[in-house]
């Protein structure tokens, strides 16, 4: 991986992290198209630069994250991230293996797209308008939904937003809570991946640190723009368009895999 490739992947991450089309899936596709080899560092990079995009949430919602009088907010996030921590530790090797599978991404993009096309009609009764109304049990169940996104192509934001709507949150409330929950989730995932790589490889080279820094910075800047766009779009149009996009991309990807243009 070189600097230009890290910039491109950073842009892809920033654009797709908060839109329910799977940032990991799109990064895997981009890496395949750019001819980036499937090394251990690339796997770490794919996870770690998501932290840059997630930190955009902290900046945009800084009043929420730094309101230390509202301790319930922090407890809800801790409760919500517990399922991901447990399953992530138990199935780390299996998750890493899936990061190499473009076929998995194609199938999950297609299946998830079909779900999103109909999701607005499936969950129509909303009673929770904001994070303050979210209970600890709501947080835990949404956290379980989020774990589905450990399969590349599912989309963390899609899984957690759907989980929120299933728990009676409005679309915008579910989206915002998904953003909030992403912060501890990606902090934990990134910290674990970086520490594991450091122990196994004896540290990062100067070039690898530079690539990680560039990717995170680019993802952060692009995500700042994407978050505001997505919230407004979601309020007006719902999920149907993203579902159609996923279905089309999934079919195109399957065709490319079948013809051998992209490796499985």
pLDDT tens-digit profile of 213-254?
999 999 999 999 888 888 788 778 888 999 999 999 999 999
Residue 263 has pLDDT above 80, yes or no: no
Cβ-count burial of 139 within 10 angstroms (0-12 exposed, 13-18 middle, 19+ buried)? buried
Listed by start position, the domains of the chain span 3-258
Q: How confident is the model over 84-97, as pLDDT tens digits?
A: 999 888 887 887 77
Q: What is the pLDDT of residues 169-214, one digit of tens each?
A: 998 899 889 999 999 988 888 888 889 888 888 889 999 999 999 9
Region 48-57 average pLDDT: 90
> pTM of the full predicted structure?
0.86
User: In the predicted model, what is the mean pLDDT of the chain?
Assistant: 89
Cα radius of gyration (the chain): 18
Report the percentage of the chain scoring pLDDT > 70.
Answer: 99
Using CB atoms within 10 A of its CB, is residue 142 exposed (0-12), middle (13-18) or buried (19+)? Answer: buried
Which residues are paired to 169 by β-bridges?
128
Which position has the higher pLDDT, 215 or 121? 215
Over residues 23-27, the mean pLDDT reads 87
Confidence at residue 207, expressed as pLDDT on a 0 to 100 scale: 94
Q: Residue 208: which of 40, 17, 25 has the closest Cα?
A: 40
Provide mean pLDDT across the span 48-63: 90
Backbone conformation region of residue 22, classed left if phi is above 0, alpha if psi is from -120 to 50, else beta: left
Give the residue from 227, 231, 229, 208 showing the smallest Cα distance to 219: 227
Share of the chain above pLDDT 90, in %: 45
What pLDDT is attached to residue 100?
A: 67
Sequence-separated contacts (24+) of 162-166 with Cβ below 8 Å? 162/115, 162/119, 162/123, 164/138, 165/119, 165/123, 165/126, 166/123, 166/141
DSSP per-residue letters across 114-158? HHHHHHHHH-----B-SGGG--HHHHHHHHHHHGGGGSTTS-HHH
The phi and psi torsions of 204 (rounded to 5 degrees) equal: -110, 145
């Amino acid at each position: 991986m070189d600097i230009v490739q890290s910039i491109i992947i950073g842009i892809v991450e920033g654009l797709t992290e908060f839109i329910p089309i799977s940032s990991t899936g799109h990064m895997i596709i981009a890496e395949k198209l750019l001819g980036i080899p499937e090394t251990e560092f690339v796997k770490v990079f794919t996870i770690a630069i998501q932290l840059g995009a997630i930190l955009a949430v902290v900046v945009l919602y800084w009043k929420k994250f730094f309101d230390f009088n509202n301790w319930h907010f922090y407890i809800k996030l801790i409760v919500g991230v517990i399922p991901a921590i447990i399953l992530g530790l138990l199935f780390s090797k299996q998750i890493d293996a899936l990061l190499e599978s473009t076929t998995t991404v194609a199938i999950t993009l297609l299946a998830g797209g079909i779900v999103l096309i109909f999701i607005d009609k499936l969950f129509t009764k909303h009673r929770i308008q904001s994070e303050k109304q979210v209970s600890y049990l709501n947080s835990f169940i949404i956290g379980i939904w989020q774990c589905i996104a450990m399969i590349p192509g599912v989309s963390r934001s899609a899984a957690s937003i759907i989980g929120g709507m299933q728990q009676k949150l409005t679309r915008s409330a579910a989206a915002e809570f998904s953003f909030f929950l992403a912060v501890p989730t990606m902090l934990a995932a990134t910290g674990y991946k970086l520490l594991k790589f450091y122990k196994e490889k004896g540290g990062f080279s100067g070039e690898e640190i530079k690539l990680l820094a560039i990717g995170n910075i680019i993802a952060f800047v692009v995500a700042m723009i994407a978050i505001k766009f997505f919230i407004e779009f979601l309020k007006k149009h719902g999920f149907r368009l993203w579902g159609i996009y996923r279905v089309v991309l999934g079919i195109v990807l399957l065709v490319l895999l079948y013809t051998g243009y992209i490796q499985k």
